[in-house]
Amino acid sequence: MTDSSSPPPSRRRMIALGEIIAIAALIVSALGVWIAWKSSQNSGPTRVVEQRQAIPLTLRGKVEAGGRELAIQPVEDSHALESLVVIIAGADPIELGSDGALDAAAVADRVKEDKGAHSVAVTIAARYVEMGKDHTATGRYVLRYEVEGGGLLGGRSLKLTGLSRG
């Protein structure tokens, strides 16, 4: 009589091979989970730090002393002027300090205009500090002014009236 309860020897070997493959897959999977858990534990929480972007320099002019002076200042409070150079085409440049005070007499020496309201295109080169770093910028602006007087015996006087982006 043959014993039907025991499977043939080749079938027994195939089951053992399948079990070995399943156990190896289980070990590889557990190792992958452990590596992922370890790497996420070491990095700690992710912090997002917002970095401020540099803001382009834009200048504004404020008339002071009845038009005898124009205070040129940055629009943004985060900009600190170091120096300004106002360039009128065909004339010597006007160098200003960190206060940005443009004197009407300096402009009067460089423009030849008749009585009335006028404007002239200027280039302003600036050195400034933003977020602790030195920067330079150059921009085109329109300087507005008014010439008064200039009669027979009187001298002409120039009054600055404003500065705008141009």
Global pTM reads 0.62
One digit per residue, the tens of pLDDT, for the chain of length 166 reads 555 666 665 555 666 788 888 999 999 999 999 988 887 766 666 666 666 777 788 888 888 888 888 888 888 888 888 888 898 888 888 888 888 888 888 888 788 777 788 888 899 998 988 888 888 888 899 988 888 876 566 667 888 888 888 7
Question: Are the C-beta atoms of 148 and 156 separated by less than 8 Å?
Answer: yes
Strand (E) positions, the chain?
A: 59-64, 69-74, 79-88, 94-96, 101-103, 116-130, 133-149, 156-165
CA 17, 18, 21: angle at the middle one, nearest 5? Answer: 90
Domain map of the chain by residue range? Answer: 7-46, 59-165
